[in-house]
A and B are shown apart, each in its own frame.
Chain A
Amino acid sequence: MTRLWQLIAQGLVYAAVAAGLAYGSAAPAYRRLAEDQAQITFTVVHGGQRLEDCRDRSAEELAARAPNMRKKRVCARRRAPVDVELYLDDRLVMAVAAPPGGLSGDGASRVYRRFAVPTGAHVLEARLRDSGRAEGFDHVRQVDVQLRPGQNLAVDYRPSDGGFVFE
């Protein structure tokens, strides 16, 4: 192979490699949502109520403890699980029973879900139970939403803002 042909061959190899690198670095696109879909992101980070009420130690109990351990009020650590449900147009699309976090079950329960839904007008209802009771929910909010293609609707539970927030 003459030097000229070698250079031409090298150029072709470099061009092929460059084409492969340039293409693979940006394509093909990864389609995550169809044209007529929107997305709902549902998050809850919330500690359920304590399973047992706090109580005060009696004088005898306190006397039996070391002087530096005589804290009067004691609370059981374990919290209730947080149950959440999400309805889309009266259809249950998500139901999660989130156990409390932490080794002693005294941390916040966490829920994170993301899913695609059809665009258009919908009625969304979010429910949350954090008291450990068997029936009913402690926090419920229903909203009418108009979802656009590609929209991300965040449904977040924020007690400081009054409960469920849709944004």
Chain B
Amino acid sequence: MGGVKQVLRFGFAAVENALNRAFGFANPLHHLGALGLFFFWVIGVSGVYIFIFFDTGATEAFLSVEAMTREQWYAGGIMRSLHRYASDGLVAVMVLHIAREFAFDRLRGPRWLSWVTGTPIIWLVMICGITGYWLVWDTLAQFVALATAELLDWLPIFAEPIARNFSAPSRLDDRFFTLVLFAHIAVPLVLVFVLWLHLQRVASARIHPPRALALGTMAMLLAMSLVAPALSQGPANLAAAPAAPGLDWFYLWSLPLAEVWGGGAMWAFGFGATLVVAMLPWLPPLARRPVAVVDLENCNGCTRCAADCPVSAIDMGPRTDGKAFRFQAVVDADLCVACGLCMGACPTATPFRRVHDARPGIDLPDFTLRQLRDRVEAAAKPLAGEARVLAFHCETAARPATDGHTAAVAVRCLGMIPPAMIDYLLSRRLADGVALIGCGPGQCHYRLGNRWTRERIAAVRDPHLRARVPRERLLHASISAFDGRRVGSEIEAFRATLSRDRGARDPAAREAAS
């Protein structure tokens, strides 16, 4: 399993690096979930328009869709094409989203809920698509209806074969279209509810793509609608067999398979694959780290840890120790992923404090603030030269090479480093520069570590990095674990800048250097 993830991760990292250059923050691979929701809204809006002009009935359905497509191509035709292509886009981003979350191992531990609730989403999206193709009632719809009915008939729950309704023109009933239309509208409503569940444990979820990406995607869909509009494939005729329908493979791939394999094998494959996918968070079981603990002695109930937790594992509860604060942090041990972002957010997490062993209001039992300070001091001690760099790096990010000038300290997530730690390093002259190497862009294992770090340094998110810390002595870079060469060059360039700045600041050093 680990090998498969490693290969996928390498593939994603390579493609994302290339797309980063073209798209920057709007890299589509970093917004797959939000893109999926964007497609969903496009489908919803275009669907409402189509519904207004759609007639149910064996002959009316096809004619109404044709009229919409031909007679008002500039509105109904475009809406129909948007409906089709956004639906296909939804499947494409859904598959990529699943593969990417799997590759970057974002499915285990408390994240299982998002993963498991994702599996019915796949089924619901497929059902929406398949029922949608029924409604057009062209030759493709005829094939879809027949193949779906045959698949359903394999299940021993119907009194007579549904497929019999499509065996001859005299057997078709208009009520089918009403039923299918109901399913096509009802299933997306269920989908909205499951999507809500899907995001329950995702704090600060990005549900809208960046504006540039949304505009670009919408322009792409419109261009597709004009250049290659969605068209019907001729009216359905039950006296003829659809010999070679042009399929939408994003949705209808299962129907040819069902014809080749048979209904039993197809259902076994569908349910078996769903079960395997749903069980992936526990294959193999995750060895969980000790969760964050609150030290009421130092917790003032400021709520910053709750605001910064990426998995909504912290709630603010009523005070239990009688202190004159309104709240105290309460950690839900079932949800905590032990990333340490809460520690980085805690205003009492400061290495300057020597009292209480530098215990903050919230801390990780197996990676305390005190331990972090000790590791930093031990790593910085042997550093020598004029541009000494202490590099923090996330466990899953690129690891900087250590030498006499550069020391590396691994952390769970950049977000676990309190800004005061950076101040401490520089003000105590333990290093001349601090490098913060986070996971690759859009790959932050704990989702928000890079973002919170950036905002704390920029003093727009509490706790701020103090103004006295010279920002030019900081390097914050997002570098994937597969980009080891880049981390070396970034730190070399950073050291060169530090040397130059130091020379400019200190005439003695400048003279010594010359």
Top 9 A-B residue pairs of the complex, sorted by shortest distance between their CB atoms: A9-B22, A154-B168, A39-B241, A112-B161, A33-B243, A41-B167, A45-B160, A152-B241, A154-B167
User: Do B239 and A151 have beta carbons less than 8 Å apart?
Assistant: yes
21 contacts between A and B (CB under 8 A): A1-B22, A10-B23, A18-B223, A21-B224, A24-B88, A29-B244, A30-B245, A30-B247, A32-B259, A43-B163, A43-B167, A45-B164, A108-B160, A110-B160, A112-B153, A112-B161, A114-B163, A152-B238, A154-B167, A156-B171, A167-B239
Q: What mask results when residues 51 to 72 of chain B are scored 1 for a CB within 8 Å of chain A, else 0?
A: 0000000000000000000000
Q: What mask results when residues 229 to 271 of chain B are scored 1 for a CB within 8 Å of chain A, else 0?
A: 0100000001111111111111000001001000000000000
- Is A86 interfacial (CB 8 A cutoff)? no
* Residue in contact with B21 in the complex, picked from A9, A41, A101, CB distance below 8 Å: A9
A154 to B172, CA, bound (A): 13
Smallest CB–CB gap between A5 and chain B, Å?
A: 8
* Residue in contact with B159 in the complex, picked from A25, A27, A28, A101, CB distance below 8 Å: A101
User: Do B88 and A25 have beta carbons less than 8 Å apart?
Assistant: yes
Which B residue sits closest to A45, measured CB to CB? Answer: B160
- Is A132 interfacial (CB 8 A cutoff)? no
- Is B1 interfacial (CB 8 A cutoff)? no
User: Do B84 and A25 have beta carbons less than 8 Å apart?
Assistant: yes
User: Do A22 and B168 have beta carbons less than 8 Å apart?
Assistant: no
User: Do A107 and B159 have beta carbons less than 8 Å apart?
Assistant: yes
**B167 proximity list for chain A (CB < 8 A):** 41, 43, 152, 154, 156
The interface size of chain B toward A, counting residues with CB under 8 Å, comes to 49
User: Do B241 and A25 have beta carbons less than 8 Å apart?
Assistant: no
* Residue in contact with A26 in the complex, picked from B163, B240, B248, CB distance below 8 Å: B248
Within 8 A of B (CB), among A1-26: 1, 6, 9-10, 13-14, 17-18, 20-22, 24-26
The interface size of chain A toward B, counting residues with CB under 8 Å, comes to 40
B-side interface mostly: helix
**A149 proximity list for chain B (CB < 8 A):** 243
A152 to B228, CA, bound (A): 31
Within 8 A of A (CB), among B142-160: 143, 146, 150, 153, 159-160
* Residue in contact with B256 in the complex, picked from A18, A20, A27, A30, CB distance below 8 Å: A30
Smallest CB–CB gap between B72 and chain A, Å?
A: 21
**B153 proximity list for chain A (CB < 8 A):** 112
Smallest CB–CB gap between B289 and chain A, Å?
A: 39
User: Do A31 and B246 have beta carbons less than 8 Å apart?
Assistant: no
Smallest CB–CB gap between A55 and chain B, Å?
A: 28
A53 to B466, CA, bound (A): 97
Q: What mask results when residues 11 to 27 of chain B are scored 1 for a CB within 8 Å of chain A, else 0?
A: 00000000101111000
**B223 proximity list for chain A (CB < 8 A):** 18
- Is B170 interfacial (CB 8 A cutoff)? yes
Smallest CB–CB gap between A68 and chain B, Å?
A: 29
Q: What mask results when residues 68 to 98 of chain B are scored 1 for a CB within 8 Å of chain A, else 0?
A: 0000000000000000110011001000000
Smallest CB–CB gap between B162 and chain A, Å?
A: 9
Q: Given contacts A30-B247, A33-B243, A107-B159, are A114 and B150 in contact (CB under 8 A)?
A: yes
- Is B220 interfacial (CB 8 A cutoff)? yes
Q: What mask results when residues 123 to 158 of chain B are scored 1 for a CB within 8 Å of chain A, else 0?
A: 000000000000000000001001000100100000
Which B residue sits closest to A32, measured CB to CB? Answer: B243
* Residue in contact with A24 in the complex, picked from B160, B168, B244, B250, CB distance below 8 Å: B250
User: Do B243 and A31 have beta carbons less than 8 Å apart?
Assistant: yes
- Is A38 interfacial (CB 8 A cutoff)? yes
Q: Given contacts A25-B88, A110-B160, A114-B150, are A13 and B19 in contact (CB under 8 A)?
A: yes
A18 to B88, CA, bound (A): 10
**A9 proximity list for chain B (CB < 8 A):** 21-22
- Is B290 interfacial (CB 8 A cutoff)? no
User: Do A151 and B242 have beta carbons less than 8 Å apart?
Assistant: no
- Greatest chain B CB density within 10 A among A30, A43, A151 is at A30
A44 to B33, CA, bound (A): 48
User: Do A156 and B168 have beta carbons less than 8 Å apart?
Assistant: yes
User: Do B248 and A24 have beta carbons less than 8 Å apart?
Assistant: yes
